[in-house]
Structure formats: structure tokens, C-alpha cells
Structure 1
């Protein structure tokens, strides 16, 4: 159980009246400190679904004790490592993250829409300097703690919780145009009884990019679950859940999408329990039509944890039945031919476990990079599943 110090008082996370204490601290902008280590680790208070929660500061997870619920694995084990200090710059006083983006948040003229991917050469070359659209989605998922899972959360994570986590994470991030939370649109869960209030909040959120104007048009970013793809008179449309309107996409971008996200689309279509998540920049025309400028995608399982192969999903499925916490590693800008730790288990003793899945057909460069990654983190016990060698090894 975590213990926090706020001012000169110490509380555990199940203390009577903790919500009132956190509300007062939130209003006075007091920072709690986690006592899992000495000196205590700074944290912050977030308001999520009407509750006040103590959250870890961005990229501070490895400062916590591995047995602490706020611990997260070293970011060098995932695609986050090359971005820290470059594309992602953390303000140590506030904990906010300044993001440098490799995509535009405005549109000039008739520039064609397109699907983005971190598999192309340009993104790989600039992987440490700027965040791709997919990397922003991964960072939101990671900072929203949606990469974490334990069987104790079964049945407690739906789109409402996902949305709250993403919006809360975005409030800790800024981009060149301002606060990311101000330009991020994540659809609310639709409730027929709250139809009018939801519509009013949606209209207010989208107001900054509606209406005619001169010069470049502002864009917003949406993160939403794809419901289906459908043909339109000119191009295609993407229907997302909890929205009464689709997003239009040009034929050229549609073809790129199907080419660059073959694996994600194949995985999504293979199982009704999987969800396809889209992140896109979009505009709203003078006639009120929402159209996509750039788009990227990822697939997540029934617990909303991302995965990139059926082997990863099998591992996640086994781990999801355990009470121990698992943390999924993400690629951000890294291409598939570079290794990452697929999953980390922070709680096993004597050391946390980093789990690697080596796809069939990897070359010597991949194996060398994997060996160097393992050697660089001696405090982590490696677990390796080489798919070409046969079935999944016994879990640690």
C-alpha cells in the first residue's frame, strides 16, 4: 500500500477521508510525495471521473521502488528511450512534457491527406527529434497508464475510463500551439439520456476549428475507436464509436492506410474482442463535415492493452489472468526490425522481469541489438521467447 506525504502529514492510500484531503491539496496545488523510497518521490493529484487520484509524474516511474504500484520500467527498454530530451522535454518543476511533432496542426491550401507510419525512412531518420502521430498515441497511452494491467482490474476498464486517462495525460503535455488537452478530442461514451448535454460539450470542444476564416485552417487531434469503414460517393469514411458523424478520408490516404497498417487491420479483423484505435488530425469544413488530414492506428485487446502480433496477444492473455501487474512496452517511432521489451513484470523478486519476443526471421543485427539491450539493464531479469524455436516458454 502506498503512503504519501502532503505538507507535513502522511497518509496511506486507504485512509479515511482521503478524498477530502486530496481535494484540498488539489485546490491549493500541493504536491504529494510517495514514501516508497527516500528521498520521497514527487507526484501530482489528478481529478478523474469525479475522484481525486495521486499519479506519478511523467517519466518518474523508475524512481519508485519496483514493489510500488507507481513503478514503471526504464524507458530505454521501449521506443520511448530515444525521444527523451529530444522530442519529449520534461519540465522538472511542473512535470509537464513539451512535445515536438513531425506533423502539422494546420492546413494550407489543398494539401492531400495521408496515413502516417513509423515504418518509413523519414520517420526512422528523425526518430529522436520529433514525435510521429503514432508516437503521440503511444505516449498518451503510456502516460495514461493504459499499458498496465492486473487481473484485479477485470471488467473495470471501458471506453469511459480510457477517455478519462487519455484526457488527463494530455493535460500534462504541451505542443507548440499550446496545451495538448485543448486540441485533443476524444468522444464521450454515448448515453441516450444525456444526449443533449453530450452534444453541447462536443460542440464546445470542436468550436475552435469550425467556421470560415482566412489563412491556414486549424486542426485538432482525435483519438477514437474505429467501428467500421464504409464507402462514400467520393473517397471513404471512417465511422467511430460514440460519435453521430463519420470522418471522411480521401481515396489516396485510404490506400496508404490499408498498405501501411496491414498487420493492425488483419489483427483487428481476426477477433471481435479486439479494438482498433485511430489517432488523426482533422478539420471541419464550412459545411460541418469532418475530414482527416493524417492518421495512424494501433490495435488493442479486450483490456485496451496494445499489441502488435498474435504472439504478444497470447503472452498478454496469459498475464491478464494473474494478480501481478504487467506493463506493455510500445514502439513509439521505432520500426519493427528493432527490438523492444514487449512486457515488463515489475513485482517478481529478486528483480523485475523484462520479457522479449523475437519474431521468426530476425537477422544478426536484431540479435546484436537485443543482446546489447539486455546487457545494458543488468537489474532486469530477461525472459525471451524466440518464436522460431517453438512454443512460449514457461512464465517466470
Structure 2
């Protein structure tokens, strides 16, 4: 249970009047202070699905006590580390961030650029200086706290909650002089009783992607759950949930996508409860066709936690029933031959546990990089599963 100082009054988050307090504080732009440590840690108030929530400021999770629900693992252990101060610049006063992107938000010239952009979206050459499209998806997921899980949330995280978290996260990010939320499109969960209202809001949200005469065309960024891929006359149709129209992707870009994300597509096909998330830049033609310029994919489990192998999936299944919080680490721009923390168990005693999964083909360079990563955070207990040595080791609790 968290305790906050808001203005000059102390609050317990379980208090019946707490929502009313947050609504007033939100209107007055007051910043709650989490009292898990002394001095207390500044936080902010978000409005999601009509409710007011206290959320941590970017990069302040490590300032909270390990037992506090707002604790966040050190970003140096994930692919976020090389990006902070380079591709991601944080304003400590406001908590907002400025993102530098390695993909275009406008389109000029022939459609062939889509295939080229799709091929370059995970380039290691820009791993510290600019964000790939996949890295932006990871940053949205991480900032939206969708990498976190505890068993108390079972059955409470659906697409509506995911969408609200992504939009709130995007509101804290700025790209090329404007909030990312201005150009981010996340489909609203469909409800038959609000069909007309949803259609009107969707049309307003997509207005920025419409073709508007000669010159470069502005693109938007979509994050959505893929329902299926279907053959089209010249390429593929990407059908996504909660949308009445497909996204079109040309044949060359589709072939590159299938090759680059072969692992994600293979994992997605192993279980009906899994979700495939796409992030794509897109525009809408005069004919009303939504066409993808660049795209990246990510597979998540039934709790919307990302994973990149069956071994990580098994680990997440083990942790799903745990009543304390686990946090999934993400790669951002890093390639698969670079180690990152798989999961962090924040509330363990005497200190947090950093869980690593070493792939079967890992060599000496990988092991050396892993040893260096562990050395950077000596306060964290490492748990290592080397796939080549056999089944999952004993987990760090009875």
C-alpha cells in the first residue's frame, strides 16, 4: 500500500476519498510525493479510463524502495541504457522526453522506400543516437508500465487498458516538436452500442494521415494488435483488431518483414492466447487506403507481456501466479546477440533479482558482456538460465 504527500496532506491510496483528492490535484497540477523513502519521490497523476492514477516519473523507478509498487529496475540492464541522454532526452522537471527517430514521419517519392525502411528499422549503427521503430514500441510499452505484472491483475488487463496506457505514455513523449500522442493512432476497443461514436472518433484521429495535395505527405504511427495477414493483389493486407479496414503493405516490404520477424511470427503461431503487436508508420491515400511505410512486430503473452523465445515464455508463465511484481526487460535497439535482463524481481530480499536467459548458441563474447552487465549493478542478485545446460534453474523463492 502506497502513501503519498499531496500538497500538505498525507494520503493512503486505499482511502475512500483518494480519487477525489487526485481529481483536484490533477486539475491543480500538483505533484504527489511517494513516501516509500525519505526524502519522498516525486510522481505525477494520469487520467485513464475515467480514473485518476498516480504514476512514477520517467527514470525515477530506481529511486523508490524495492518493496514499493513504483520501483523500477535500473534501465542500464535493458536496451534502454544506451539510449538515455542520446536518442531519449528526459526533462527532469516535467518528466517529458524528447525522442530522436531513425525513421521518417513523412513520405516522398516512390513506394519502394517502404521496403528499404523496413529493412533498416533495427539497424545497430544507430543504437545509441536514434530510436528504431521497434524501440519506440518498446519505450511506449515500458513507459506505460505494460512490462510489469503481478497475479492480482489477472483478468484486469485487456485492450482497453493497454490502449489507455499507450496513449498516456505517448503524451509524455515529444517527436519533432510535437507530442507523440498527436500522431499516434491506437484503435479503440469496439463496442456495438457505441458504434457511431467510435467511428466518429476514429475519423477525427486519422485526419492527420490523409493525403493533402502535392508535396511530402505526413505519416502517422499506429500501434495495434494483428488479427491476421491475408493475400492482396499486390502485397498483403494486415487485418487488425477493432478496425473495419486493413493496412496494406506492398510485396517487397512484406517479404522483408516476414524474414526479419520470422521468430515473432513463429512464436505467435504457437498459441491462441498470444497477441502479435504491430507498430507502423502509415498514410491514407485519396482513395482512403491505409498503406504501411515501415513496420515492426512484437509478440506478447495473454497478460500483454512481451517475450522473445519459448524459454522466456515459460519463465513468464512461472511468474504469472506470483503475488509480487515482476518487470520484463526489453531490447529496444539491441540485437539478439547482446545480453539484456529478461525479468527483474523487485521486491526480493535482501535485494532485487535480475534474471538472465543465455541462448544455447551464446559464445565467449556474449558471456563476457553478460559478466560486465552483472558487474554494473552489484546490489542485484543474478539468476541465470543457460539454455545449453538444461532445464530452468530453481526460482529464487520457495
Q: When the two structures are superposed, what TM-score results if normalisation uses the length of structure 1? A: 0.98
Asked if the contact 1:235–1:250 (Cα under 8 Å) also holds between the matched residues in 2, the reply is yes
Residue of structure 2 equivalent to 1:215: 215
Instruction: Give runs of ≥4 in structure 1 deviating > 4 Å.
Output: 117-120
Task: Work out the CA distance in 2 between the residues paired with 1:111 and 1:377.
Answer: 46
Q: Deviations over 1:176-218 (max 9, x none)?
A: 1411001000000001111000000000001122243221000
Asked if the contact 1:119–1:335 (Cα under 8 Å) also holds between the matched residues in 2, the reply is no
Residue of structure 2 equivalent to 1:90: 90
Asked if the contact 2:354–2:383 (Cα under 8 Å) also holds between the matched residues in 1, the reply is yes
SS of match in other structure, 1:306: coil
SS of match in other structure, 2:379: coil
Q: How many residues are matched?
A: 394
Q: Deviations over 1:337-385 (max 9, x none)?
A: 0001100000110110000000001110000000011111110000000
Asked if the contact 2:83–2:127 (Cα under 8 Å) also holds between the matched residues in 1, the reply is yes
Q: Show structure 1 runs of 5+ residues with no match.
A: none
Distance apart, 1:387 and its partner CA = 0.4
Question: 1:328-339 to 2 correspondence within 5 Å?
Answer: 328-339=328-339
Q: CA RMSD in A?
A: 1.1
Residue of structure 2 equivalent to 1:152: 152
User: Do residues 21 (structure 1) and 18 (structure 2) align?
Assistant: no
Distance apart, 1:89 and its partner CA = 0.3
Q: Deviations over 1:111-154 (max 9, x none)?
A: 4213636885xx21210000000000000000000000011100
Asked if the contact 2:31–2:43 (Cα under 8 Å) also holds between the matched residues in 1, the reply is yes
Task: Work out the CA distance in 1 between the residues paired with 2:363 and 2:47.
Answer: 47
SS of match in other structure, 1:307: coil
Residue of structure 1 equivalent to 2:267: 267
Question: 1:111-260 to 2 correspondence within 5 Å?
Answer: 111-112=111-112, 113-114=114-115, 116=118, 123-260=123-260
Q: 1:333 to 1:272 in 2, by over 3 A?
A: same
Distance apart, 1:312 and its partner CA = 0.2
Q: 1:360 to 1:377 in 2, by over 3 A?
A: same
Task: Work out the CA distance in 1 between the residues paired with 2:225 and 2:376.
Answer: 37
Q: Deviations over 1:239-267 (max 9, x none)?
A: 00000000000000000011000100000
Asked if the contact 1:157–1:303 (Cα under 8 Å) also holds between the matched residues in 2, the reply is yes
Task: Work out the CA distance in 2 between the residues paired with 1:117 and 1:341.
Answer: 26
Residue of structure 1 equivalent to 2:382: 382
Q: 1:119 to 1:96 in 2, by over 3 A?
A: closer
Distance apart, 1:219 and its partner CA = 0.3
Task: Work out the CA distance in 2 between the residues paired with 1:116 and 1:321.
Answer: 37
Residue of structure 1 equivalent to 2:63: 63
Q: 1:374 to 1:331 in 2, by over 3 A?
A: same
Residue of structure 2 equivalent to 1:45: 45
Distance apart, 1:39 and its partner CA = 1.3
Residue of structure 2 equivalent to 1:12: 12
SS of match in other structure, 2:141: helix
Asked if the contact 2:338–2:366 (Cα under 8 Å) also holds between the matched residues in 1, the reply is yes
Asked if the contact 2:211–2:283 (Cα under 8 Å) also holds between the matched residues in 1, the reply is no
Task: Work out the CA distance in 2 between the residues paired with 1:118 and 1:154.
Answer: 37
Asked if the contact 1:2–1:12 (Cα under 8 Å) also holds between the matched residues in 2, the reply is yes
Task: Work out the CA distance in 1 between the residues paired with 2:380 and 2:176.
Answer: 37
Q: Show structure 2 runs of 5+ residues with no match.
A: none
Task: Work out the CA distance in 1 between the residues paired with 2:214 and 2:311.
Answer: 50
Q: When the two structures are superposed, what TM-score results if normalisation uses the length of structure 2? A: 0.97
SS of match in other structure, 2:393: coil
Residue of structure 1 equivalent to 2:297: 297
Distance apart, 1:325 and its partner CA = 0.9
Asked if the contact 1:217–1:283 (Cα under 8 Å) also holds between the matched residues in 2, the reply is yes
Task: Work out the CA distance in 2 between the residues paired with 1:317 and 1:209.
Answer: 39
Task: Work out the CA distance in 1 between the residues paired with 2:207 and 2:250.
Answer: 24
Distance apart, 1:88 and its partner CA = 0.3
Q: Deviations over 1:76-110 (max 9, x none)?
A: 11000000000000011110010000000000122
Asked if the contact 2:357–2:384 (Cα under 8 Å) also holds between the matched residues in 1, the reply is yes
